[in-house]
Amino acid sequence: MSSSAGGTDDRGRDRGKVLSTAKASQAIGKRSLLPRDWKGPSTWIAAIAFIIIVFSIINPRFASVENLRNVLEQASVPLIIVIGTTLVILMGSIDLSAQGVMGAAGMAWILLSPNSREAIDLGIWAWVIALGLGLSLGLLTGVIYAQLKVPSFVVTLGTWYVGLGLGTLLYGDGLLPSLTNQHLASWPTRLTLGLPNAFWLAVVVVVGGGLLIQYTHLGRGILAVGNNESIARSSGMPVNRIKVSAFALAGLLSGLAGILATMQIGSGSPDIGSGQLFTVIPAAVIGGTALSGGEGGVVRSTLGVFLLIILNNGLILSGVDPNYQSGVFGALLVIAIVAVAWPQRDRLKVAK
Amino acid sequence: MAIALTALTLAGYLGASARATASPAPKSDLVMVASVINTTNPYMISNIEGAEALSKKLGIPLKIVDSNGSSQTEISKIDAILASGKTVIMFVNTVASSDAPTIVNDVQTAGGYVTIWWNKPDDYEPWDIGDNFVAFQKIPGVESGRCGADAIGAALLGKGNVVILGGVQDSTTSQTRLAGFQAEMKAKYPNIKILEVRPSNWDPQLANRNAKDMIAKYGSQINAVYSADDAMQIGAMQAFEDAGLLDKVKFASDGLYPKTLADIQSGRGDHAIVGETFHRGYMASSVGLYTAYLAAEDQITPSQLPHEKRDSLFQLSCVTPDNYKQYLKYDDPNAAAQFVDSLVKDGPWNTPPMTLIGGGPEKLPSP
C-alpha cells in the first residue's frame, strides 16, 4: 500500500519536473539561433582566434586564402560526422560507428558512380543508395539500442564493424576502385562563392543540425532524454522513437561523410573513415557537449572540430618536427581547454 | 598458472620430440596459414591470393588470419589455429616487428613451421632460434627508395624541391625506403632539396590531408613528391590535382598498384608518375609459405642453409614509364597460379622476377 502511495508521490513530483522541463524546452524553442550558453562559445572563438594569430606570426602562409580554404575543406568531413555524434551524445548515449558506416557508404557510392572497376553510373541513385545504407545502419543501431536496451557503446561498436565488414565485402579482392570522372573527384575542392564546396555541404549540415535542436520536437526531445529520460518518458514523449531517429540521423550523416571523403581522395576504401572517431568525439567533448547528455550543442562541437583541425594544420605549417608533433598537439590542446574553461570553473560539474 | 606452464612445457617437449623423430608430416596433417595485417589493403589482398594459389597447387587446406591491424588479434587468432593440433605451415606479414618472437615461439612450441615477412627485430635471427623459424624474408626498402630518388632526380634534371610522405613512423619498411631515398638524393642529386618528411601512416586519406597542408605551406615550390607506398601517393596526387598543380609536379613511390599502372599508362597529369617499384603480395606469401612447406616436408633442413636463405632479401624491380609494360603480365587474372607453378619448379630462391639477391638484416645507408 505504502509503496503505491509513494508511487503516486513520485508521479506528482515527476509531473512537476515535467512541467519545468517543458517550460525549459519552450524557452529553448523561443530563443534565437545562438546557443543557450553563448558565453562559452565566445571564449572558444577568442581562443581559436588567438591560435590563428600565433600561427600566422610564425608562418604568414598560415593566414593565406589558400590555407583558409584548405582548413575549411579538411574540416568538412569531421564537421558532418560531429553533428550526428552530437545529437547522440546530447541524449547521453555515444556513437562509435561513424568510421564503419563511412566505409560501407563510401564503397557503395563509388561502386555505383563512374569508377575504374565497374562500367556503371547510377548518378543520383548512387547517392540515394549509399545514404540509404548509412541511414539503415543508423536505424538498426537505434532499434537495437532503444528496443532491446543494449548500451549504445556496445551496439555502435558492433555497427562499426558491421559497416566495416560491408565495406570490405564490397571492396572484395578486385582492383582499387577509383573515380573515373575527375569532375566528380574535384567537386569537394571546387569553389562556390570563394569557399570549397565540401565546406558548403558541411555548413548545410551544421545549420540543419542547429535548427533541428532549437526548433523541432525531435531536437527538444533529444535534449529532454539527455536531461532525464524517465521524466521525458512519463511526460508522454515518444522516447524510443526519438532515440531511433537520433541514431538514424547520425548514420545518415556518417554515410554522407563517407561519400565526401571518398570523393576527396578519388578512390574507395573500407578504411576511408580511419581516424575520424579520434577527431569527432574529442571535438564534441572539448567543445563542451557533456557525455552525460543534455548539455552542449552543434555550435560547440563545430568549434571543437575547428580547434583540432587548426591546431594540426598550424603545427605542420609552423614546421614542428613530426617526432614532436603529437606531444606538442596534446600540450597545446590541454592549455587551450584550461584557458577556456577557467572562467567557468565554478559552474562546471565535478569532472570525473 | 602452474598448470598452464606445465602444459606449455609438455607441448614444448612433444614438439621437440616430434622434430627429433624427423619424419615429414603427412599432407593430410598439414594446414597452411597466411596471416595478414588487414583485408582491405590491395597488397594484403594479393598476399591472400598467393596463399590461395599455393594451397590449391599443393592440395593443402588454407586458413587466413586477418589481424585487423592489431598485434593482439593477430597473435590470438594464430594461437587458436595452433591449438587445433595440425602441423602448421605459416606465412606471417607481421603487424609490428615485436610480434615476430611471440609468434615464432608459439609456432615452435606447437611444432609448426613459419616464415615471417617484412618485419622482425634486426637481432632476432632464425639460426639462433631453430628450424621451426624457417626464414625471414623481405624486399629491400633501401633499394626501393633509391629507385624513387633516381626517377625523381632524372625527371627534375637534378634541381628542385621534394616533399616525402612516409608510412607509420616506426615501421622499418618505411624507414629503410626513406633512408634509401635520402641517401641516393644526397649522393647523386645534391641540388635537390628535401623540404619536409611527413609521416602519413600508409593512409591515403591522411596523405591527402598532409599533401594539402604542404601545398598550403610551400605552394609551387614543390617539384616532386616521394611516397613510401602507392596508397599514400594516390591520396597525394588527388590533392595536387585539386590544387591545379598535378601537371607541374612529379611523383615516385613503391608498389605499382593497378591504379598507379593505369595512371602511368594514361599519362595522368603531365606524365606525373616518373618512378615506381614492382613487387607483388602474392609472390611474397607463396614464396614464404613454400619455404616453410619445404621444411615441414624435410626437403630442406633450415639449420643447414646458408644465412642468406634464412634472413633473405629478394629482388625488387625499378619501374619507369619506359619499362612498365613488361610488368603488366604479372597482373593477369591467373598470374598468381602461374607464379606458383614456376615457384614449385624453381624453388623459393630462384623464381623470377623475385629471386634471392642477398642476406639481411638490411643495412641503412649512413645519413
CB B172 within 8 A of CB B144: no
Q: For B206, which of A168, A186, A275 is closest by C-beta distance?
A: A275
CB contact under 8 A, B205 and A264: yes
Give the containing element (helix H, strand E) for A201. helix A197-215
Contact B259 A313 (CB under 8 A): no
C-alpha distances out from residue A113 to A77, A99, A109, A120, B154, Å: 20, 21, 6, 6, 38
Which amino acid is located at B14 in the chain? Answer: L
Contact B238 A116 (CB under 8 A): no
Contacts of A249 (CB under 8 A, 6+ apart): A84, A87, A138, A212
For A275, name the nearest residue in chain B, comparing CA atoms only. Answer: B206
Which of A312 and B19 is assigned the larger pLDDT?
A: A312
Kindly identify which residue of chain B lies nearest to residue A184, measuring between CA atoms.
B242
Helix (H) or strand (E) holding A279: helix A277-287
Identify the pLDDT of residue A127.
96
Residues B134 and B7 in one domain: yes
d(Cα B363, Cα B367) in Å, to the nearest integer? 12
Phi-psi region of B266 (alpha: psi -120 to 50; beta: other; left: phi over 0): alpha
Does B65 share its domain with B150?
Answer: no
* Range in A250-254, A307-311, B3-7, B244-248 the model is least confident about: B3-7
Report the C-alpha gap between A301 and A84 in whole angstroms. 10
Most confident of A53-57, A178-182, A342-346: A53-57
- Residue in B closest to A171 by C-alpha: B40
A99 has pLDDT over 90:
yes
* Domain termination site, one of B278, B313, B334: B278
Interchain contact, B169 vs A323, CB within 8 Å: yes
CB spacing of B213 vs A316 below 8 angstroms = yes
Nearest residue on chain A to B199, alpha-carbon basis:
A322
User: Is A321 touching B (CB cutoff 8 A)?
Assistant: no
Question: What whole-number distance in Å separates Cα of residue A174 and Cα of residue A172?
Answer: 6
Per-residue CA distances from A64 to A60, A70, A123, B215, B317 (Å)? 7, 10, 36, 12, 42
One domain for residues B354 and B240: no
Among A284-293, A307-316, B63-72, B270-279, the range of highest mean pLDDT: B270-279
Smallest CA–CA distance from A310 into chain B, residue? B213
Contact indicator for B72, B42 with CB cutoff of 8 Å: no
DSSP string, A111-135: HHSSBSS-S---THHHHHHHHHHHH
Q: Which member of A67, A73, A269 has the closest CB to residue B40? A: A269
Task: Spell out the residues 6+ positions from residue A6 whose beta carbon is closer than 8 angstroms to its own.
Answer: none
- Give yes or no: residues B38 and B159 share one domain: no
pLDDT at A108: 96
Q: Which residue of A has its CA nearest to B239?
A: A265
Q: What residues contact residue B61 under an 8 Å CB cut-off, 6+ apart? A: B31, B32, B55
- Can you give the pLDDT at residue A5? 38
Q: From CA B273, how far away is CA B324, in angstroms rounded?
A: 11
Identify whether residues B235 and B273 lie together within a single domain: yes
Inform me whether the C-beta atom of residue A72 falls under 8 Å from chain B C-beta atoms. no
Determine the residue among A161, A269, A318 to mutate to test chain B binding: the one whose Cβ has the most chain B Cβ atoms within 10 Å: A269
Give the contacts of B244 (CB within 8 A, at least 6 positions apart): none
Q: Return the amino acid letter for B23.
A: S
Let me know whether B284 and B197 are in one domain. Answer: no
Three-class SS of residue A222?
A: helix
B41 lies in the same domain as B72: yes
Note whether residue B288 is domain-resident.
Answer: yes
Check whether A340 has a pLDDT greater than 80.
no
- Are β-strands B192-199 and B160-166 bridged in parallel, bridged antiparallel, or unpaired? parallel
A323 to each of A209, A238, A334, B200, B255, how far by Cα in Å?
Answer: 38, 51, 19, 12, 26
pLDDT of A345 reads 59
* Crossing angle for the helix pair A239-265 and A98-112, to the nearest 10 degrees: 60
Model pLDDT, residue A42: 78
Domain count, chain B: 2
pLDDT at A333: 78
Of A265, A274, A319, Cβ closest to residue B238? A265
As a whole-number percent, the residues of chain A with pLDDT over 90 amount to: 50
Model pLDDT, residue B29: 87
Asked if residues A184 and A114 have their Cβ atoms less than 8 Å apart, the reply is yes
Shared-domain flag, residues B273 and B145 = yes
Same domain as B155, residue B128: no
CB pair distance less than 8 Å for B216 and A323: no
In this structure, is residue B185 part of a structural domain?
yes
What is the residue whose three cell numbers read 642529386? B189
Residue A233 has pLDDT above 70, yes or no: yes
- What is the C-alpha to C-alpha distance for residues B47 and B65, in angstroms, rounded to an integer? 11
Judge whether B169 is closer than 8 Å to chain A, CB to CB: yes
Contacts of B212 in chain A (CB under 8 A): 70, 73-74
Whether B169 sits inside 8 A of A322 (CB atoms) is yes
Q: Number of C-alpha atoms within 13 angstroms, CB side, residue A311?
A: 23
Any chain B CB within 8 A of the CB of A167? yes
Contacts of residue B48, Cβ cutoff 8 Å, sequence gap at least 6: A173, B34, B36, B39, B64, B281, B285
What is chain B's mean pLDDT, rounded? Answer: 90
Q: Which of B1-5, B72-76, B293-297 has the lowest mean pLDDT?
A: B1-5
- Domain hosting B118: range is 2-139+280-359
CATH of the domain at B226: 3.40.50.2300
Instruction: For residue B31, tell me if it sits in a domain.
Output: yes
Domain boundary assignment for chain A: 33-344
Searching chain A, which residue's CA lies closest to the CA of residue B218? A61
Last residue of a domain, one of B247, B278, B309: B278
- DSSP codes of every residue in B5-20: HHHHHHHHHHHHHHHH
pLDDT at B23: 62
* ipTM of the complex, rounded to two decimals: 0.78
Q: Does residue B173 sit in the same domain as residue B248? A: yes
Quick check: is B366 in a domain? no
The enclosing H or E element of B193 equals strand B192-199
B228: which residues sit within 8 A by CB, 6+ positions away? B164, B165, B166, B167, B173, B174, B177, B178, B202, B253, B254
The whole-number pLDDT of residue A289 equals: 77
Residues of B in contact with A264 (CB under 8 A): 205, 208, 238
Torsion of CA A229, A234, A236, A241, to 10 degrees: 30
In-domain check, residue B365: no
Cβ-based contacts of A160 with chain B (< 8 Å)? none
State yes or no: pLDDT of A93 exceeds 70: yes
| For range A173-185, the mean pLDDT | 83
* pLDDT tens digits, A196-209: 999 999 999 999 99
Decide if pLDDT at A295 tops 50: yes
Give the architecture-level CATH label for domain A33-344.
Orthogonal Bundle (1.10)
* CA end-to-end distance (rounded Å), chain B: 48
Cell numbers placing B313: 632479401
Verify whether the Cβ–Cβ distance B215 to A167 is below 8 Å.
no
Helix (H, G, I), strand (E, B) or coil at A318: coil
Q: Is A65 on the interface with B (CB under 8 A)?
A: no
Closest CA relative to residue B143, chosen from B189, B184, B104, B200: B184
Terminus-to-terminus CA distance in chain A, angstroms?
40
The verdict on A178 touching B (C-beta cutoff 8 Å) is yes
Provide the sign of the torsion angle of the four alpha carbons B356, B358, B364, B367, taken in this order.
negative
Q: How far apart are CA B97 and CA B89, in angstroms?
A: 20
pLDDT 10s digits, B222-266:
999 999 999 999 999 999 999 999 999 999 999 998 889 989 999
How far does A114 lie from chain B, in Å, by closest CA?
15
- Flag whether residue A180 sits within 8 Å of chain B, measured between CB atoms: no
Candidates B45, B213, B219; nearest CB to A313: B213
B contact residues 295-354, partner A, Cβ 8 Å cutoff = none
Which of A87-101, A183-197, A316-330, B157-171 bottoms out in mean pLDDT, i.e. has the lowest? A316-330
- For residue B216, give the chain A residue with the closest CA: A67
Same domain? For B193 and B213 the reply is yes
Contacts for A151 with CB less than 8 Å, ≥ 6 apart: A145
Give yes or no: residues B209 and B108 share one domain: no
b/e per residue A272-282 (b: at least 16 CB within 10 A):
bbbebbebbbb
Whether the per-residue pLDDT at A287 is higher than 80: the answer is: no
Provide the chain B residues 221-260 that lie in CB contact (below 8 A) with chain A. 234-235, 238, 241-243, 257-259
Asked if A275 reaches chain B (Cβ–Cβ under 8 Å), the answer is yes
Please report, rounded to a whole number, the percentage of residues in chain B having pLDDT higher than 90. 76
Instruction: Write down which residue in B250, B278, B306 finishes a domain.
Output: B278
Residue of B nearest to A273 (CA): B205
Tell me whether residues B215 and A66 touch, CB distance under 8 A. yes
Collect all residues of chain B within an 8 Å Cβ-Cβ radius of residue A277. Answer: none
pLDDT of residue B55: 97
pLDDT value for A16 = 44
